[in-house]
């Protein structure tokens, strides 16, 4: 588990519109990589190219390469469905399936992959996933109640449990705490620090303190100018980005001079 | 009203403009008019059916009482409508899924228009089509069915030589209710939250698995509601059924391909009414009252089911 992702000269297009240009970075396994930057700079777009979710937009495409260990994610004959089974994702708004119970939400991905999993094995996996997501104690007595009955923070942890139940290599998180209160946010941040022992985690966040708290590496995205594509300005160890960044734009952004 | 009169006099009252008053009056009047019309129909049905309800059994056509007269009609109505739904609902769901998730945008649009156009075809045209085109075509398949699948009560035979059978009536009804069901179900599918679709795709669901996890559960109550609306239409359909089925009234039978059919209530009224007099006429109206009650109940259930969708919206 936990693989390295190597991104080289990635350009992201929506039809003819170039949204993000020339991103190269190495995402280290068993670490948290945070992506920060002003709204509309393409950091979420970039995140979604890592598991090919951006392809849901018609005519979206990329140039350049994304390689996970030795597998080219955009190689010929690569099925995006298989990419997404290895690279899980958690979204800005918690999105448990409203018609499913807590148990079924966690089991949803498992049922896709192993159709003939024994009931007891399934129970174990669901329990382990919920424990990993620090949610087990809160829901173990109501596993078969609807997931939509949980609080926002619990729902988000349920979504994390659902994502890690299929044992992905990488976990992508697109502003996972932006709709949560501080207590729930802290629960998720603690969880990230635990999960990075086993997973490669990439998180997009608007909250710079959050990036400073949870990440080992931070990448700063910015627009090249009005109406121009977004770019990766710099990426470095988090401590360095927040103390002595090498680029003026990064310093301006983290010191609150713009954005 | 009460609160505005009790409000302290110094409080500013919103001035009532004439346009508002006229509009409020017109819309209230329209609402009341609907109720009056419905009540009028109900009163007409009950008063006109009353002589038949109270008449001695031997005066009812057939001579064995009202229940014996209406029951085969009711059976024919229900079996034709329900079996039409059995054909139409899966087809409608499949079409809606195709339009929403599989078809290229241009084809989806064209197909949507064609489905809507189907809804605009007058029922008498469907009747003509069923009688003159569909019925002759079914003669050979029907005899094949009775030979090879004759053990199924539906296909017991002997097959009709004209093809004007319950089976054809059911197919025509299915085509007629298809557009309304498709339209409602498609609307539900297009409203499936992006959030839930992405949730399914992000754990590695294929398109079909995403539809099963996100779209179908979300659209389920709409599918049920749409089916009920279709059922309401199929129950009350008159002309198409009257034209396809022969006038001779058969008894209760599940046999769909013979020339002996239980007629439907609506078609029976259309065929018999011009020559009906006295108690016979009142009997037909009594059968109409039964149809009215059933359609009302079906539509109320449909409303209730569609309204229940609000529970799902609360989830996110």
pLDDT tens, position by position, A207-250: 899 999 999 999 999 988 888 899 999 999 999 999 999 999 99
Token digits of residue A212 = 């400073």
Q: Residue A109: its pLDDT value, please? A: 87
- Chain B residue whose CA is closest to A113: B204
Alpha carbons A194 and A191: distance in angstroms, whole number:
5
pLDDT at B243: 82
Task: Say yes or no to pLDDT of B7 above 70.
Answer: no
This prediction's pTM: 0.80
Residue B207: give the domain boundaries: 55-313
Q: How large a percentage of chain B has pLDDT more than 90?
A: 25
Q: Is residue B159 in a domain? A: yes
CA distance to partner chain A, nearest, from residue B87 (Å): 27
pLDDT value for B2: 45
Given a contact cutoff of 8 angstroms between Cβ atoms, the answer to whether A173 and A90 are in contact is yes
Whether B33 is covered by a domain: the verdict is no
DSSP-assigned states of every residue in chain B: -HHHHHS-TTSPPPP--HHHHHHHHHHHHHHHHHHHHHHHHHHHHHHHHHHHHHS-GGGSTTSS-HHHHHHHHHHHHHHHHHHHHHHHHHHHHHHHHIIIIIS-HHHHHHHHHHHHHHHHS-HHHHHHHIIIIIHHHHHHHHHHHHHHSTTSGGG-SPPPSS--SHHHHHHHHHHHHHHHHHHHHHHHHHTS-HHHHHHHHHTT--HHHHIIIIIHHHHHHHHHHHHHHHHHHHHH--HHHHHHS-SS---S---SSSS--PPPHHHHHHHHGGG--HHHHHHHHHHHHHHHHHHHHHHHHHHHHHHTHHHHHTT-
**Candidates B192, B202, B309, partner chain A, best to mutate (most A CBs within 10 A):** B202
B202–A91 C-beta distance less than 8 A: yes
Residue B311 has pLDDT above 70, yes or no: no
Q: Is the pLDDT at A112 greater than 90, yes or no?
A: no
Q: Which of A95, A98, A166 lies nearest to residue B204, judging by beta carbons?
A: A166
Domain containing residue B191: CATH number? 1.10.3720.10
What distance in Å separates residue A252's CA from the closest CA in chain B?
34
A112 and B315 in contact by Cβ < 8 A?
no
Specify the pLDDT at position B255: 77
Domain assignment present for residue B180? The answer is: yes
The interface predicted TM-score (ipTM) is 0.88
Q: Considering only the beta carbons, identify the residue of B203, B220, B314 that sits closest to A163.
A: B203
- Specify burial of residue A138 (Cβ count, 10 A radius: 0-12, 13-18, 19+): middle
Average pLDDT over residues A98-119: 85
Q: For chains A and B, count residue pairs whose Cβ atoms are closer than 8 Å.
A: 72
Domains of chain A: 5-97+170-254 (3.40.50.300)
- Least confident span in A44-53, B31-40, B126-135: B126-135
If one counts the domains in chain B, the total is: 1
Would B133 be classed as within a structural domain?
A: yes
CB A49 within 8 A of CB A10: yes
| pLDDT average, residue stretch A168-172 | 92
Computed over every residue of chain B, the mean pLDDT equals 84
User: Which of A122-131, A195-204, B12-21, B75-84 has the lowest average pLDDT?
Assistant: B12-21
Interface of chain A toward chain B, CB-CB under 8 angstroms: 51, 53, 56, 81-82, 84-85, 88-89, 91, 93, 95-100, 108-109, 112-113, 146, 148, 159, 162-163, 166
B124 assigned to some structural domain: yes
User: Is there a domain that residue B282 lies in?
Assistant: yes
Determine the distance in angstroms separating the CA of A60 from the nearest CA of chain B, rounded to an integer.
Answer: 16
Q: Contact A148/B206, CB-based, under 8 Å?
A: no
Confidence of residue B53 (pLDDT cuts 50, 70, 90): confident
Residues of chain A in contact with residue B216, where contact means CB-CB under 8 angstroms, are: none
Statement: residue B315 has pLDDT above 90:
no
Q: Which residues of B touch A98 (CB under 8 A)?
A: 196, 217-218, 312, 315-316
CB contact under 8 A, B202 and A96: no
Residues A51, A166 contacting (CB under 8 angstroms): no
CB–CB of A93 and B209 under 8 A?
A: no
Which helix (H) or strand (E) is A197 found in, with range? none
* List of chain A residues whose C-beta atoms are within 8 Å of the C-beta of residue B199: 91, 95-97, 159, 162
């Amino acid at each position: 588990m936990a693989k390295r992702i190597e991104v080289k000269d990635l350009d992201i297009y929506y039809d003819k519109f170039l949204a993000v240009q020339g991103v190269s970075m190495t995402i280290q396994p068993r670490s948290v990589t945070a992506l920060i930057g002003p709204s509309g700079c393409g950091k979420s777009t970039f995140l979604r190219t890592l598991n090919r979710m951006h392809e849901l937009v018609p005519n979206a495409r990329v140039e350049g390469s994304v390689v996970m260990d030795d597998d080219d994610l955009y190689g010929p004959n690569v099925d995006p469905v298989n990419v997404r089974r290895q690279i899980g994702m958690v979204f800005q708004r918690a999105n448990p399936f409203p018609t499913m119970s807590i148990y079924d939400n966690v089991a949803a991905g498992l049922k896709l992959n192993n159709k003939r999993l024994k009931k007891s094995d399934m129970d174990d996996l669901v329990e382990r996933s919920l424990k990993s997501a620090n949610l087990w104690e809160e829901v173990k007595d109501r596993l078969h109640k609807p997931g939509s009955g949980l609080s926002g923070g619990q729902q988000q942890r349920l979504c994390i449990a659902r994502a890690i139940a299929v044992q992905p290599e990488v976990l992508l998180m697109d502003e996972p705490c932006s709709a949560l209160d501080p207590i729930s946010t802290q629960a998720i941040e603690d969880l990230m620090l635990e999960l990075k022992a086993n997973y490669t985690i990439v998180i997009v966040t608007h909250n710079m303190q959050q990036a400073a708290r949870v990440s080992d590496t931070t990448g700063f995205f910015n627009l090249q100018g009005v109406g121009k594509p977004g770019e990766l300005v710099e990426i470095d160890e988090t401590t360095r980005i927040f103390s002595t960044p090498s680029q003026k734009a990064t310093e301006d952004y983290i010191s609150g001079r713009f954005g | 009203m009460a609160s505005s009169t009790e409000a302290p006099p110094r409080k500013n009252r919103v001035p009532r403009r004439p346009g508002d008053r006229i509009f409020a009056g017109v819309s209230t009047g329209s609402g009341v008019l609907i109720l009056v019309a419905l009540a009028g129909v109900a009163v007409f049905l009950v008063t006109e059916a009353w002589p038949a309800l109270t008449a001695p059994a031997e005066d009812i056509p057939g001579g064995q009482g009202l229940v014996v007269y209406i029951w085969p009609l009711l059976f024919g109505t229900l079996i034709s409508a329900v079996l039409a739904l059995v054909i139409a609902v899966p087809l409608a769901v499949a079409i809606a899924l195709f339009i929403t998730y599989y078809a290229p945008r241009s084809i989806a649009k064209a197909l949507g228009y064609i489905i809507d156009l189907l809804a605009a075809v007058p029922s008498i045209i469907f009747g003509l089509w069923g009688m003159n085109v569909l019925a002759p075509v079914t003669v050979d398949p029907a005899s094949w069915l009775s030979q090879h699948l004759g053990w199924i009560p539906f296909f017991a035979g002997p097959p009709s030589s004209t093809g004007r059978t319950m089976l054809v009536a059911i197919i025509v009804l299915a085509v007629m209710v298809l557009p309304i069901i498709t339209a409602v179900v498609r609307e539900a599918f297009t409203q499936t939250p992006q959030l839930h679709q992405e949730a399914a795709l992000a754990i590695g669901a294929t398109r079909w698995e995403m539809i099963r996890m996100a779209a179908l559960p979300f659209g389920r109550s709409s599918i049920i509601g749409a089916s009920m609306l279709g059922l309401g239409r199929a129950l009350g359909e008159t002309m198409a059924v009257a034209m396809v089925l022969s006038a001779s009234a058969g008894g209760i039978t599940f046999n769909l391909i013979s020339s002996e059919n239980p007629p439907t209530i609506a078609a029976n009224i259309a065929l018999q009414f011009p020559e009906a007099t006295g108690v016979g006429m009142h009997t037909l109206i009594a059968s109409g009252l039964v149809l009215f009650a059933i359609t009302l109940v079906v539509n109320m259930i449909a409303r209730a089911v569609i309204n229940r969708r609000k529970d799902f919206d609360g989830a996110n």
